[in-house]
Amino acid sequence: MKGQGLLLRLGHAWRGLAGAVRQERSLRTHLGVLAGVIGVLAYRGATPLWWALILVAAGMVLVAELLNTALEALADRLHPERHPEIGFAKDVAAGAVLVASLVAALIGIAWLGWGQG
């Protein structure tokens, strides 16, 4: 992939995103929640600062989910049988998604409690 033009690299990235959305129900769930959050932010008239905070947090969740998906796919391909260390790596990656989701939820709760408007 080194030395390829920008459009080719963007094509690889787009294929990866589209494939992850097709294969990963949890990613589709996160995207659905994000659509709902955007609707609530628009309806309630969130300030630009809250839009930025919430969208950065949501982006962090999506990035964590994509990295988790990539790690799981690679680990399953390289070592299809169960192995404790691979299981641990998968669990840690899933934990990263959980942490990102909790941070995003806390930011959303803060907005609902203090930052509306």
Q: Please tell me the predicted confidence (pLDDT) of residue 3.
A: 82
Is residue 3 domain-resident?
no
pLDDT tens digit sequence for 67-114 = 999 999 999 999 999 999 999 999 999 999 999 999 999 999 999 988
| pLDDT surpasses 60 at 38 | yes
> Looking at the domain assignment, is residue 110 inside a domain?
yes
Of 99, 93, 86, residue with least CA distance to 67:
93
Domain extent at residue 102: 25-115
The CATH number of whichever domain residue 36 belongs to comes to: 1.10.287.3610
CB within 8 A of 24, min separation 6: which ones? Answer: 65, 69
Q: Count Cβ neighbours within 10 Å for each residue of 92-114 and write b for 16 or more, e otherwise.
A: ebbebbeebbeebeebbeebeee
Q: Is residue 40 part of a domain?
A: yes
CA-to-CA distance for 90 and 80, rounded, in angstroms? 13
For the whole prediction, is pTM greater than 0.85?
yes
Task: Count other Cβ atoms within 10 Å, centred on residue 27.
Answer: 20
**Total tally of structural domains belonging to the chain:** 1
Find all residues with CB under 8 Å of 58, minimum gap 6, and list them. Answer: 30, 34, 37, 104
Residue 13 within a domain: no
Residue 2 has pLDDT above 90, yes or no: no
